[in-house]
Amino acid sequence: MKILVTGATGKLGTKVVETLLKSVPASQLAVSVRNPDKAEGLRARGVDVRQGDFDRPETLDAAFAGIDRILIISADGDNETRIRQHTNAVEAAARAHVKFIAYTSVANASETKLFLAPPHQAAEKAIINTGIPYSFLRNNWYLENEAASIQGVMAGAPWVTSAGSGKSGWALQQDYAEAAAAVLTGDGHENTIYELSGKLLTQDELASALGTVLGKEVPVQHVDDSAYADIMKSAGVPDFVIPILAGIQQSIREGALEIESNDFEKLLGRPATPIAEGLRQLVSQNA
């Protein structure tokens, strides 16, 4: 059996590949990357490194050839770009006659009003339409997404949010990576949907947990979306990113990530890493 991971030099992809290499021989693992030079370290370890660009479907035919099980990691970019790229990847997987497709989706993808959801909804629909057995890994929210806020707090700033009392199921990328690896290497995951969520917390609860890790009180500054955008701009966030961050805050406030689930336990045999431990890791990385 040959497993392929797309986007394998990205932050999540790297963790998935490293997790797989603990249980899968390198000879049975392939990666599809836009720039193979970035994956030379994997090639040196015996991983089959293939060039594949979601914007150039012809490259994907060779990249996906002879693959049994594939993990399509969702791409970055605006919604229109992502929908096109995801569709290209799914269609190439179908042409290559892969036997199983795992896809990193978003929480409650089929029902959510999250403004980032359309590319995931389109990808899930395209995968179902292939008739190929699948597993949708609906990842709630990466704790690493809060790195800039954590750094700000460490520098003396308050925790700024317009998400109100909305809750998120934060978990470390490593937890999501291990769940993906479990699905790729395990049995019985055909036509499944996993809502992968850590313990649901509000922004205040997350800030309090961070304060415990740092040994100081972390003040929380609740603002509206307009003030949040202004604060992000003054902090040097690029203009094109600000509406995305503000939209995420709004979606959290409206409950888009408030999805309770024990699917991490189903896949990993344990809950997601406790939030205090996850924060401790991120604090040490940013110290």
In the chain the domains, ranked by start, together with CATH numbers, are: 3-139 (3.40.50.720), 141-171+198-258+273-287 (3.90.25.10)
Query: Which pLDDT score is estimated for 113?
Result: 87
Task: Kindly tell me the sign of the dihedral angle through the C-alpha atoms of 167, 172, 173, 176.
Answer: negative
Query: Which pLDDT score is estimated for 287?
Result: 74
d(CA 39, CA 212): 38
Residue 74 confidence (pLDDT) above 90: yes
Query: Which pLDDT score is estimated for 136?
Result: 98
Average pLDDT over residues 8-30: 97
- Residue 179: name the closest of 69, 73, 272 by CA: 272
Residue 51: exposure state from Cβ atoms within 10 A (0-12, 13-18, ≥19): middle
Query: Which pLDDT score is estimated for 286?
Result: 80
CB atoms closer than 10 angstroms to residue 26: 16
Query: Which pLDDT score is estimated for 115?
Result: 87
Average pLDDT over residues 273-281: 98
d(CA 134, CA 144): 27
Percent of the chain's residues with pLDDT above 70: 100
Query: Which pLDDT score is estimated for 32?
Result: 98
pLDDT digits (tens, 9 = 90+) for 150-164: 999 999 999 999 999
CB 95 within 8 A of CB 132: no
